[in-house]
Structure 1
Amino acid sequence: MKRLFLGFFIVLSVLGFSQSDTAQIVVADRKNTPQALTKPYVILISADGFRHDYAKKYNAKNILKLAENGVSAKAVIPSYPSITGPNHYTMITGLYPSHTGFVDNYFYDKKRNDLFGMSMQSKISDGSWLGGMPLWSLAEQQGLLSASLFWVASNSDAGGIRPTYYYDYHEKFTADEKINIVLNWLKLPEEKRPHFITFYFPEVDKNGHLYGSESLELQNAVQFVDDAIGKLIEKVNELQLPNVNFIFVSDHGMIDVDIESTLEIPALLQDKTRFIVNNAQTLLRISVKNESELNQVYRNLKKNKTRDYEVYLTEKFPKRLHYRTTDDRFNRIGQILLVPHAPKIFLEPNARKTPGKHGYNPFKVPEMKASFAASGPAFKKGKRIGQFRNVNIYPMVAEILGLKITEPIDGKNCTAKKVLK
């Protein structure tokens, strides 16, 4: 996971978990409506950092079989920036990060005068930080029960309603324990059984960061996730439930970066009385506290930049990335963006160097692109399509489950039309 995320879990490993930290949370007194009982099942599985070419490159036989029996895409185009928190939340809301307010794994909110971090339980569980209507909220509103095993923000009340069954994030469960949780959900009495389940694997991303995309550790992580997905599908199919659909996705890819010759943050930006600087290493976001200085600061940064990165006013950032000032509904992105050319990264002195990164523009760095494969009664068989934006996953799932989309989204139905029967 990301730097902030890793630090959080190092702290937890020292302090230790109490039983309540790993306990399932169940919202009482909910049940499926009679209409929901007739709906299909959707199990949406994410493998963090599972690049678009990993399945073939590392012979992930179960994921390849899922694609062969159903549909797959050449690639999924992640939203910008191509990092974990924003993209998981984008897939589950159908909105670009700039429209949900989840603009980075960590960010400063000027109006609140507070910092949000994906790994901060008090923040990620507080839905007032985030916009949009997550799919589990949409399902619950319309009488269809949902469950989530560690999808980003699934313990949040964003959208007004949490899943009926969910967990606060931790990494204590084995793959078999996770699979058994899903099986137990699907063995519940019909009125209590979730029809929409989200499921998350962190292993590929973690090993990609630590060891790189060509490493044996990364290959083993791909096989680990693939084996778990194969077992999950096998065990669920043994239940012989009607109309179960499996969707495998990832949030972004991974690239090996230059950790020998990293970029320094410009000295001008070291003045914390004038600037708030958020460094995601593949993207540097700058908020200028005194607006009257903005143009002068921009010109200075532009004049003194190297050929290894670009300097943008956020208001003039590439339009197709949906990360401009006009897109920034929560005013969290900042006014200036420094964007390194892959494989370059910005790195503070004494910061830990890890070879794998993501976050770059997926239209310029194809290694950022993600994966998609799906199979089940709702999907065509043996269908392969081109690449599509990840905001389109939301309307696809909503159509399978027969949910009415009640709020505007950025996702389009074009992908659903290509892959659904």
Structure 2
Amino acid sequence: MTRIILISVLALISFNSVAKNPVILLSVDGFSQRYLKEYQPKNILALSRKGVIAQGLIPTFPSKTFPNHLSIVTGMYPANHGIIHNNFYNRSLQQYYTKGAAAKNPAWLFAKPIWTIAEQQGIKSAIYFWPESEAKIDGVLPSYYFKYKHNESNLNRINQIVDWLKLPENQRPELIIGYFSTIDDAGHHYGPNSTELAQAVKNFDQLLGQLLDKINQETEFTPNIVLVSDHGMMTVDKQKTLLWKTLFENFTSLNIVNGQTQLFIYEKNQNILNDVRSHLSSLPVKSYFQVFDKSDYPEHWHFNNHNAAVPDMVINALPPTTFIDEHSDNNPGVHGYDPYGQDELTGIFITQGPDVKTGIQINAFENIHVFSLLEKLLEISPSDQVDSQISILSNVINTTKANKLITKSN
């Protein structure tokens, strides 16, 4: 009897002391859900068959790169994590945001990313590029990270991911994050239906296959892989490009930030905003956009958090209209529109690994909920200051992992 009890105790100790499986979060910027069916990337589809695939990953508004990447890793809507667009104004800071600005001033970001939370709970993180991963939030940086270089080869990125997995146990990160922009680049420069885009999808798919092979052959781990994209891509109608400054020739004192698919207006005087609305409604191009102010922002924008970054008025372009100025690139592909009702803007979600179920498909869901899944996979204490809900993805984690989490919580 004593021997049986001892074996049971040792088994329990062993169970609770088993190292967590590493989590690898990969973002493929600009990868539309429709590319899976259209281009049939074999390695991505094979990954989905071995794990869980969603019918789509719904971007937050606006469907731009920085707000959506921060929503994925904070579990919050843009107005709640602070990065509400790729370009905007903050009244409190009295500054205009440009991509990566939080590296110099962390006050731009209101929320903790998953890597900050992990580091604070003793879990090492390693990041090969992610929007604002160079920002020192709460005085904390990832254990390993690289300063962003757009032209860094994708092969270098996957080789580094494998090298991190091969580090000694006391140095090895349990959370690894990677970002790839080549598909987004192709979509912008050549359009979402171009041969160049098709080749970019094929190239990334081959790269993913190399990464999986290297992990299998060169490391002792079977990680949980979470593959996402921030948004899809739409085709621009060059006949519907609006020189935005010409819309406001009678309003020279307005503080307006052009975000290509939105114009953000910062103006306290409601009478002036009323005049702007009246003026815009009289223009011949009024059907190209919608005009909203704080009293009527759509609920799904989640712009009801009236912080210093949320504008007083939003001029929202209707696809395929874009706002341009004399310096704008004349690209055939764009994103940033309100993603609701625009299937082309829906991203991807696929996860596979020892802690997730095999061969199931789930409904499309908002990308903020990826955060709660990452928390569960990493076994870190859940944050109660997020919009993310693990219940949305409750059927993704397999029974063994779920039981372990229950045992740990008790």
Matched-pair contact (CA < 8 Å) for 1:275–1:288: yes
What residue identity is the alignment partner of 2:389?
K
Alignment CA distance shift 1:37-1:299 (3 Å): farther
Alignment CA distance shift 1:381-1:37 (3 Å): closer
Tell me the distance in 2 between the aligned counterparts of 1:292 and 1:187.
62
Q: Quick check: which has more Rg, 1 or 2?
A: 2
Matched-pair contact (CA < 8 Å) for 2:128–2:145: yes
1:47 is the counterpart of 2:25: no
Matched-pair contact (CA < 8 Å) for 2:53–2:350: yes
What residue identity is the alignment partner of 1:77?
I
Aligned twin of 1:401: 378
Tell me the distance in 2 between the aligned counterparts of 1:403 and 1:271.
54
- In structure 1, runs of 5+ residues without a counterpart are 1-34
Q: How does 1:87-126 map to 2 (within 5 A)?
A: 87-120=68-101, 123-126=102-105
Tell me the distance in 2 between the aligned counterparts of 1:54 and 1:92.
24
Tell me the distance in 2 between the aligned counterparts of 1:291 and 1:307.
23
Tell me the distance in 2 between the aligned counterparts of 1:242 and 1:74.
28
Tell me the distance in 1 between the aligned counterparts of 2:17 and 2:66.
30
Alignment CA distance shift 1:401-1:51 (3 Å): same
Matched-pair contact (CA < 8 Å) for 2:73–2:371: yes
Tell me the distance in 1 between the aligned counterparts of 2:148 and 2:245.
36
Aligned twin of 1:371: 348
Matched-pair contact (CA < 8 Å) for 1:145–1:195: yes
- In structure 2, runs of 5+ residues without a counterpart are 1-15, 399-410
- SS of the counterpart of 2:255? strand
- Provide Cα deviations, 1:192-220, integer angstroms capped at 9, x if missing partner: 10000000001000110010001111111
Q: RMSD between aligned alpha carbons?
A: 1.9
- How far is 1:125 from its partner? 4.5
Aligned twin of 2:204: 225
- Provide Cα deviations, 1:398-420, integer angstroms capped at 9, x if missing partner: 00110112341001112321211
TM (normalized to structure 2)? Answer: 0.88
- Give % identity: 34
Aligned twin of 2:322: 345
- SS of the counterpart of 2:157? helix
- How far is 1:332 from its partner? 1.4
- How far is 1:298 from its partner? 2.6
- SS of the counterpart of 2:385? coil
What residue identity is the alignment partner of 2:259?
A
Tell me the distance in 2 between the aligned counterparts of 1:37 and 1:303.
67
- Provide Cα deviations, 1:200-253, integer angstroms capped at 9, x if missing partner: 001000110010001111111111111111111111122343441111100000
Aligned twin of 1:169: 148
* 2:184 aligns with one of 188, 200, 205: 205
Tell me the distance in 2 between the aligned counterparts of 1:418 and 1:113.
45
What residue identity is the alignment partner of 1:105?
N
1:327 is the counterpart of 2:305: yes
Tell me the distance in 1 between the aligned counterparts of 2:218 and 2:105.
36
Aligned twin of 1:241: 220
* 2:170 aligns with one of 191, 216, 220: 191
